[in-house]
A and B are shown apart, each in its own frame.
Chain A
Amino acid sequence: MNNAFAKSWMIAVYAFLYLPIITLVVYSFNASPLVTVWSHASVKWYVALMADDDLISAVKLSLEIAFLSALMSVFFGTFTAFALNRYRRFSGRTLLSSMASAPLVMPDVIVGLSLLLMLVSVQHWLGFPDRGLFTILLGHALLGAAYANVVITSRLREMDGRLDEAAMDLGCKPFQVFRLVTLPLLVPALVSAFLLTFTLSFDDVVLSSFLSGPGYSTLPMVIFSRARLGLNPSINAAATVIISVVTIGVIALSLYQARAARQRKREMALVYSESNQNT
C-alpha cells in the first residue's frame, strides 16, 4: 500500500512537472492557428520559424549574451570564492562575503531597477554606456557571479587544503599554487558554474527588460512580448527546439559522466587485483 502510494505520488509529481511541456511540444505540431484547438499534424510553424527574422536574431543575441556573461560570471565568481576561502583575514572580508551573495536574495526587479538608475546617470555624466548588449551583459554577469561564487566555493571547501601546502612545499609561490594545482582541480566546478550562469542568463527576462535598449531584444523578451499580444503557435515551435537542444545536452552529459565513472571503477579494480597479487 505504501509502495502504491509512493508510485502514484511520483506519477503525480512527474505529471505536474512535465505535462505542460508535453502539451506544448504536441501543440507545436498543430496545424490550426488557434493554440487551444487541435486540427491535424503539421510542421508549418517550424517553417514559419525559419523565416521569423526577429526571433532568429533574438536567439543569436541571447546566446551571445549568455556565453559572454557566463564567462564573466565564472571569472569574477572564481576569484571571489578563492579570496573568501583561502584568505581568512583581510580588511573588508565580511563586507565582500555578504555582498557577494546579496544578488541571490535581492529580487531581480530591484537589482534591475537600481542598475538602470545607475547606468542612466552614468550615461548622463560620461555619455557612456548606451543601453544595449553591454548593459545587459553587466546585469547578467552581476547576478551570475553570485551563483558562480556559490558553486565554486562549495568545491573549494571540499578540496584538500594539503594539496596547496604540498605545492608550496615543492616550491610554488601562491599564484603558481593557484595556476598549477587549484585551477586544474576546479575545472569540473568551473564547467558547472558556466552552465548554470549560461542558463540563468539565457532565460532571464526581468534584468534584460530593464537594461536593454532599442534593437536589443533577447529571446525571452520577444517571447514574452508576443505572448502578451495573444498566443502564437510559432512560439510553441521555438520552445520545442530549445527543449530538444537542452534535453540532448543533458543526456549527452550524463552519458559521458557515467562512462567516466565506469572507467574509474575499472581502473580501481585493476589496482586492487594487482596489489593482491603482489602480497
Chain B
Amino acid sequence: MVIQSEVKTTEQDLLRVVGLSKIYDGTVKAVEDVAFSVQKGEVFALLGGSGCGKSTLLRMLAGFETPTQGNIFLAGKDITSLPPYQRPINMMFQSYALFPHLTVWDNIAFGLRRDGMAKADIANRVESMLSLVQLNQFARRKPHQLSGGQQQRVALARSLAKRPQLLLLDEPLGALDKKLREKTQFELINIVQEVGVTCVLVTHDQEEAMTMASRIAVMGGGRFLQVGRPREIYEVPNSVQVADFVGNVNLFQGEVTAADATCITVRSAECMHAVTHSAAVRVGMRVSLALRPEKITLTQVLPLADDNWCVGEVVELAYFGAYTTYHVKLDSGMVLKVQAMNGTQTNVIAVGHRVYASWHTLAVVVLTQ
C-alpha cells in the first residue's frame, strides 16, 4: 500500500526527499520510506491523525531529528546531516515557542542577530516584518501581553525574518479558537503568498490543509497514503483510509457483478450500484464504494433509475443554517449520511419520513484497498 509521489528532479524542485525513514529503538517506524518533492513557491501539506508520522517528518526537515535512512535535498544540496542552525529553513512552532523574556521586537530580531547582520539592517528588517503582520504598535510588548492571534503573527514574523528558503508550519492554527482560525487562515496564506516562500505545513485538520495547501500528502502509519491537489484527494481518494480521513464519507461494501471498459456494476446489501470508473476490477471482486454525503439527493418520490438509489427512514437531522445533514437508516441497517443545501427545497423532510436517496453514476468512487 505504498503510494509515493513521483520523484522527478526538475529545476523547480526546491525540496526533494528521498527514501526517508525514522526508526526509533530499531523497531518503531515513525516514518517509513517517504519520498516527495516540493516546488518553489508551493505550499505542501502533510495531513494525518496523531501518530501518523507527520510531525517526525517535519522535525527531520528542520533538523531536530536525524533520519535513520534517506536524504533531504534543499535546492540541490544534501542537507541531511546539517544541524538546525545551519539550515536555511525556519519553522513556526505549534503554540509558537516565542521567547517569553524578550519583546516582540527582540523575538523577531533574534535570528537576524545570530547572522551578524548590521544593526541598521536588522532594524529595517524587523520593522518591515512588523508591518507585514501589522503589529507595529506592539513591538515593545512581551509575548504574554499579546492575544493568541497576535502571538501567532509574531511567530510567523520571526520565522520569516531570516528569509528562509523553506518555511515549516507546525499546526499553525492549532492553538486558536474556531472563529479566529478562519480569519487567520486567509491572513496566513496571504502573507505566505506575498513573501513567496515555499512552505511545508503539518496539520490534522483537513479544512486547514485544503484551504492553505496547493498539494496535500495524506499520511498514515508513517507512510504517504496519497499525494495530490486538494480536489483530487477529496474527489478521488485512492483508499478507504484516505476517503474516511478526508471529509465525511459513506462506505458501501459490495461485489463486482459486471465490468466493462467504462462502467462497472456492484451489488451491495443496500442496492445495485452502476459506477463510471476505470479502475482495474474483475467480476467477483470485493470492493468498497465511497460516496460523499453532499452528492446524495433525498426525495419523497420514487427515482426513475434502476440503480444508485435506496430507501430508508430519516432518524436524525441537524440544521446548520446553510445546509442540513440527515441520517437515513436504510433497510440493511446502514445509516447513510446525507448533506443538502438549504433554501431551494419546498417540501421539507423531517425525522420519521421515509425517503429515497439517489446519486449520479459519477458520484461513487470504487476503492479496492
Contact = CB atoms under 8 A, between A and B. Distances in A.
A170 B110 contact: yes
Given A165-B97, A166-B97, A279-B179, A171 B111 contact: yes
Interface string B130-145: 0000000000000011
A169 to B, nearest CB: 5
B180 interface: yes
Contacts of B114: 170-172, 176
Interface in A228-279: 264, 267-268, 270-272, 274-275, 279
B93 A184 contact: no
Contacts of B186: none
A185 B159 CA distance: 21
Interface in B99-125: 99-101, 110-111, 114-115
A89 interface: no
Nearest to B94: A162
Nearest to B64: A165
Contact of A271 (B90, B147, B162): B147
A169 B85 contact: yes
Contacts of B100: 163, 185
A7 B180 CA distance: 50
**Interface SS of chain B:** mixed
B197 to A, nearest CB: 15
A168 B83 contact: yes
Interface string B243-282: 0000000000000000000000000000000000000000
B85 A166 contact: no
B351 interface: no
B93 A165 contact: yes
B162 A170 contact: yes
A176 B84 CA distance: 13
A166 B147 CA distance: 20
Q: Which of B93, B97, B146 counts the most chain A CB atoms within 10 A?
A: B97
A275 B115 CA distance: 34
A166 B145 contact: no
Contact of A270 (B145, B158, B159): B145
A158 to B, nearest CB: 13
Given A170-B114, A171-B111, A275-B149, A165 B144 contact: no
Contacts of A35: none
Contact of A166 (B93, B150, B179): B93
A267 B144 contact: yes
A264 B94 CA distance: 24
A230 B84 CA distance: 68
B85 A173 contact: yes
Contact of A172 (B85, B90, B93, B179): B85
Max count, chain B CB within 10 A of own CB: residue among A166, A168, A180, A272:
A166
Contact of B93 (A162, A181, A185, A268): A162
Contacts of A113: none
Contacts of A176: 114
Given A171-B114, A268-B144, A166 B99 contact: yes
Contact of A170 (B94, B144, B147, B158): B158
A53 interface: no
A167 interface: yes
Nearest to A272: B147
B91 interface: yes
Contact of B115 (A171, A184, A270): A171
Contact of B84 (A163, A169, A275, A279): A169
Candidate in A171, A271, A274, A275 with the most chain B CB atoms within 10 angstroms: A171
Nearest to B91: A169
A279 B180 contact: yes
A173 B83 CA distance: 9
B36 to A, nearest CB: 22
Complex A-B, nearest 4 residue pairs according to Cβ-Cβ distance, in ascending order: A170-B111, A171-B114, A275-B147, A162-B97
6 contacts: A166-B98, A169-B63, A169-B89, A169-B91, A270-B145, A271-B146
Given A169-B62, A170-B90, A279-B180, 16 more contacts: A165-B97, A167-B99, A167-B110, A169-B89, A170-B85, A170-B158, A171-B85, A171-B115, A172-B85, A180-B110, A185-B100, A264-B144, A271-B146, A272-B147, A275-B147, A275-B150
